[in-house]
Amino acid sequence: MSLLADLDRGLLDLVFPRDCMVTQLPMDDQARLYLSDFGARQLERIYDPRCHTCGHPFDGILEGDRTCPHCLDLNPAFGRAVCAFRARGHIRQIIHEIKYTRCPFLVADLVAVAVEDPLFRRHLAGAQLIPVPLHADKLSERSYNQAERIAQSLCTHMPGCSWSHALIKVKPTPSQTLLNRTERRRNVANAFEANPTTHISPNVRYVIIDDVLTTGATLHACAQALRLAGALHIDAATLAHG
Ligand SMILES: [Zn+2]
């Protein structure tokens, strides 16, 4: 079904020339389809220093504790999350388009720029990537899972990585958008389970993949489900933090 969204874009390309998703100017870049070099430089990357747990950037020089106050409260079931961009401005808009306006094809160019960061690459190296799953009803409505698209795209850039449907979402949950930190955690509690058709190994390092990390509640719930199934090494990575 996800092919439909790509076919839509392919048909549109015949009528309208492709524009950069940031500058809205016609593309003249050969390496990417929807993101020009100038547009890529407008995206707000996350650099060190950052929270060692959730990847949120710290302002200025960091000394001592490398975990932000939010993560001390969260005490997440995953080890470390690394996020490529701040979920503001262009990135917020692009991720909205990916999720809600049938534009999953924009993932590939964002991922291509994200993996230019050596720390982001090191974080993923050799891992099995586990996209945060959608509930079957949501998947049927959207026709694709953006987190799965991100994981697939990351694997094309990271030869040592693989991805799998190791998690399933067994409980539909209302949107997290308007919920506070505590409500988000309650909302996704027990929403995920390990996929009974996938073998979870204590020797494999798993990296849970999502589009945005906000409070970390979803990634925490996913990591709990993987741990319950026997995983010992669990980290996370998202395109954006916001
Ligand atoms: Zn943090």
| pLDDT value at 10 more than 80 | no
pLDDT band at 4 (very low <50, low <70, confident <90, very high): low
pLDDT of 161-218, one tens digit each? 999 999 999 999 988 888 888 888 888 989 999 999 999 999 999 999 999 999 999 9
Count Cα atoms within 13 angstroms, Cβ side, for 46: 29
Cα–ligand 1 centroid distance for 62 (angstroms)? 13
Long-range contacts of 44-51 (CB under 8 A, 24+ apart): 44/85, 44/86, 44/88, 44/89, 44/90, 44/91, 45/84, 45/85, 45/86, 45/117, 46/83, 46/84, 46/85, 46/86, 46/241, 48/119
pLDDT value at residue 193 = 98
pLDDT value at residue 197 = 94
Phi, psi of 168 (to 5 degrees): -125, 150
Cα–ligand 1 centroid distance for 206 (angstroms)? 19
The count of structural domains within the chain is 1
* Residues paired with 194 in a beta bridge: 167
Cα–ligand 1 centroid distance for 31 (angstroms)? 34
Longest dimension (CA), the chain: 56
| pLDDT value at 148 more than 70 | yes
Cα–ligand 1 centroid distance for 236 (angstroms)? 12
- Please identify every residue whose CB atom is under 5 Å from ligand 1, which is an ion: 51, 53-54, 56, 68, 71
pLDDT of 102-140, one tens digit each? 899 999 999 999 999 999 999 999 999 999 999 999 999
pLDDT band at 27 (very low <50, low <70, confident <90, very high): confident
Cα–ligand 1 centroid distance for 16 (angstroms)? 42
Cα–ligand 1 centroid distance for 21 (angstroms)? 29
Q: Tokens 């005490």 label which residue?
A: 75
Q: What single-letter amino acid sits at 149?
A: R
pLDDT value at residue 68 = 85
Candidates 107, 108, 104, 113; CA nearest to 139 is: 104
Cα–ligand 1 centroid distance for 204 (angstroms)? 24
pLDDT band at 91 (very low <50, low <70, confident <90, very high): very high
pLDDT of 43-75, one tens digit each? 999 998 899 999 999 876 555 567 888 788 778
Q: What is the mean pLDDT of residues 149-172?
A: 96
pLDDT band at 28 (very low <50, low <70, confident <90, very high): confident
Per the structure block, which two tokens stand in for 107?
């993932």
pLDDT value at residue 62 = 58
Cα–ligand 1 centroid distance for 69 (angstroms)? 7
pLDDT value at residue 76 = 92
Cα–ligand 1 centroid distance for 68 (angstroms)? 4
User: Which residue segment(s) compose the domain that 230 sits in?
Assistant: 2-241
Per the structure block, which two tokens stand in for 180?
């506070």
pLDDT value at residue 5 = 52
| pLDDT value at 2 more than 60 | no
pLDDT value at residue 60 = 64
pLDDT value at residue 79 = 96
